[in-house]
Amino acid sequence: MNSPGISRRLLLAGTSAALLPVRSSLAAGIASTPEQTEGPFYPVQFPDDLDNDLVQVRGQAAQAMGTILHLQGRVLDIDGKPMRGVQVEIWQCDSHGIYDHPRQPGHTGRDQAFQGYGRMLAAADGGYSFRTLKPVAYPGRTPHIHLKVARYGGATLTSQFYIAGDPQNARDFVYREAMRDPRQRDRIEMNLQPASGLEPGALATTMDIVVG
């Protein structure tokens, strides 16, 4: 963010009032998506259906229970440039708070129609999208969606998205840790909007993932 190039430019610009707006927009930079714990429920075995539609499992007539959420955005580097071809993964519990994971108590009672995990490659403009569920709470955690972005060379960013305004956020230790830097709010809080135009009763949100 505070690159030497910017400092040099400011030095050359002196205190010219005409250039101050440029200074503020450059100096502001963009906040990165904070690294957050992977948690205990990253899949040990990936589902047979590995696409970006978690609501519909290939070969099943039933659709997952819960409120459908269209999650989309772009993967960007810290300069705001799209990161194409990086892998984006998400995973979350079903509408009853149960993960598809052997460590999950009551695992066998999970909603078999929910894929639980999905992944895709970001497009040339960094774009990604998932059809998933509005996350629900489970004991000890506020509602959240886990995500991981894998870059070339194997480096990854692991994080979590939350629902903006959910009263349980303030009591959640992972959320509170991420919010120690309040600039990260827009990177981890999803503003859910009605998206009945996409499908009845659905919600949508746009979350850019900024890899710092």
Summarize as ranges the residues that interact with Fe ion (CB under 5 A): 39
Nearest alpha-carbon partner for 208 in 96, 110, 129: 129
Least gap, CB of 131 to Fe ion (angstroms): 19
Least gap, CB of 62 to Fe ion (angstroms): 24
By CB neighbour count within 10 A (0-12 exposed, 13-18 middle, 19+ buried), where does 86 fall? buried
- Residues in contact with 31: Cβ distance below 8 Å, sequence separation at least 6, in sequence order: 181, 183, 184, 186, 187, 210
**Cβ distance to Fe ion smaller for residue 30 or 168:** 168
**Cβ distance to Fe ion smaller for residue 140 or 153:** 140
Least gap, CB of 87 to Fe ion (angstroms): 20
**Token digits of residue 17:** 């009032």
Looking at residue 62, what DSSP letter applies? S
Least gap, CB of 97 to Fe ion (angstroms): 10
- Closest residue to Fe ion in the complex (CB): 39
**Cβ distance to Fe ion smaller for residue 103 or 180:** 103
**Cβ distance to Fe ion smaller for residue 137 or 195:** 137
**Cβ distance to Fe ion smaller for residue 39 or 82:** 39
CA 147 to chain CA mean position, Å: 5
Q: How far is CA 180 from CA 30, 136, 148, 151, 184, in A?
A: 17, 23, 21, 26, 9
Least gap, CB of 196 to Fe ion (angstroms): 28
